[in-house]
Amino acid sequence: MTKAVSSRKDIIRRVSEEIRREMEGYRELKIMHLCGTHEDTVTKYGLRSLLPNNLKLLSGPGCPVCIIPDTDLQRVFYLIENEDIIFTTFGDMARVPFKGKSLFYYRSKGNDIRIVYSIFDSMNIARESKKMVVHFGIGFETTMPSTALAILDSPDNFCVFSSHRFFIPAMDYLLSLGDVRVDGFINPGHVSTITGIKAYEGVRKKYGVPQAIAGFEPEDVLIALLNLVKSIKSGDSELINEYTRAVTYEGNVKAQEVMNEVFATDDWEWRGLGVVPESGAPLKDKYGDYDALKVFEDLFEDFVEEEDVKKKACRCGDVLRGIIMPSECPLFQKSCTPKDPIGPCMVSFEGTCNIWAKYGAYI
Amino acid sequence: MSGWILLEELCKNRRVISLCLAIPARVEEIKYPIAIVDFGGTKREVRIDLLPDLNVGDYVLVHVGYAIQKVSQKDVEELSSIYGKLRDEGVF
Ligand code: SF4
């Protein structure tokens, strides 16, 4: 065995032992991570099994596909049903069902739905077409700068249906709800690359909850947990950056500038959280020509919201709030599976239900 | 999808695109605002508007077609080699 390998295994063993020592005889602590990729690392490597019983690691609203509410999806479907457009989307979004239909369903019915790797691919499609190309803008601060760049450089037959949401207002809102006590957060690595550490100062000051920005390797997560436990015990609400490889205090200022140029803020709904103040990212009025809601304003006037009864028993919202784990949903791996998902948490490969099903985590 | 190597693989076959993650790549050629980057064998065009002072040979984290941050070669190599070895030896 090589040195690199043994030293890494050593790190994992040493850190988890130290966490156990720190937690001995201490009250129960709940730490929440906020990113689908963190859940993947945690579940894949069985990190929860390395933690003592009085340290709970919860999964929060960190899956960008999962938190998009049904009304956005329903509007998109309504647009596709009624307009002759090319619609572009990331693949993960294309399987999310509403009333048994999905973007893949529409594609199979002959609608022009294209899966793209980036919004810049959508722009190229628009440049080669005479049709209007509408891109489904989803994702948090990590993804939003790409949409902003595209809007600033957009062909005329291109617009965006913005379902983008700012992540940090959701952390604030989650704490204000108070239905799950969160003693510490593991903050998402690549959202932080854009926003910088400074963006979390508000939440820290308001709630005094320590936060650690962590990378995605198993030892990154464990070291973040250890430092959070220490910080909670000492009573300091520290803002710890474990992910110095990619995160600075100021973040990517240029990316913040283009985001601020293009997006306004509004109170928008999140699946599981309800309406989160100032979390929505509509395009600013001056970019109305590139905003699908404005371009197709007349069509949307007749839009009527519906409910998907199939999802009534789905507890995705509770999963996203950290109230339950997937195995506590009665449908998990019964009527809801990755092959035949009911809720978006089972569709998206960044969704907690999907990750648990994939790695067989049923505890 | 936790290791960077695994992500590079995912990115290569482009079946899934993570909205949480950025993948390290090496800058091969710059035609501002676009650069050709190499994800361990697969080359792609990415936008580099949001990173000032980028040079050929630099490493960047790429997310949905744009470079979000510069990272050091040391960080990338360290992680990639550790992950590769761990996987090869079936440690995880
Ligand atoms: S297992 Fe399926 S039905 Fe249950 S919460 Fe997850 S996505 Fe919803």
Q: Which residues of A touch B20 (CB under 8 A)?
A: 35-37, 62-64, 142, 188-190, 350
Instruction: Report pLDDT for A4.
Output: 52
- What is the DSSP secondary structure assignment for residue A338, as one 8-state letter? S
The answer to whether residue B22 neighbours chain A at the CB level (below 8 Å) is yes
Domain boundaries, chain A: 29-62+177-248, 70-166+251-301
Fold match between A29-62+177-248 and A70-166+251-301? yes
- Shortest CA distance from A47: residue in chain B: B92
pLDDT bin (cut points 50, 70, 90) of residue B84 is very low
CA dist B6 and B22 (Å) reads 12
Q: Give the tens place of pLDDT for each residue, B7-28.
A: 444 444 333 456 666 788 899 9
Mean pLDDT of B30-44: 88
How would DSSP label each residue in B31-64? ETTEEEEEETTEEEEEE-TTSSS--TT-EEEEET
The answer to whether residue A151 neighbours chain B at the CB level (below 8 Å) is no
Compute the mean pLDDT over every residue in chain B, rounded to the nearest whole number: 71
Measured between CA atoms, how close is B30 to chain A, in angstroms? 17
Cβ-defined contact of B64 to A64 (cutoff 8 Å): no
Q: Which domains does chain B have, with CATH numbers?
A: 4-77 (2.30.30.140)
Instruction: Report pLDDT for B86.
Output: 40
- What is the DSSP secondary structure assignment for residue A156, as one 8-state letter? T
Best of A243, A260, A350, A358 to disrupt the B interface (most B CBs within 10 Å) is A350
Residue A69 near residue A274 (C-beta atoms within 8 A) = no
Best of A66, A120, A141, A260 to disrupt the B interface (most B CBs within 10 Å) is A120
Q: Which residues of B touch A63 (CB under 8 A)?
A: 20
CATH class of A70-166+251-301: alpha beta
H helices, E strands: number in chain B: 2, 5
The whole-model pTM stands at 0.89
CA of A352 to the centre of ligand 1 (A): 9
Question: Domain A29-62+177-248: which topology?
Answer: Rossmann fold (3.40.50)
Residues of chain A with pLDDT under 70: 1-6, 361-363
Instruction: Report pLDDT for B5.
Output: 41
Mean pLDDT of B51-72: 91
Long-range contacts of B54-57 (CB under 8 A, 24+ apart): B54/B27, B54/B30, B55/B27, B55/B30, B56/B27, B56/B28, B56/B29, B56/B30, B57/B26, B57/B27
Instruction: Report pLDDT for A310.
Output: 82
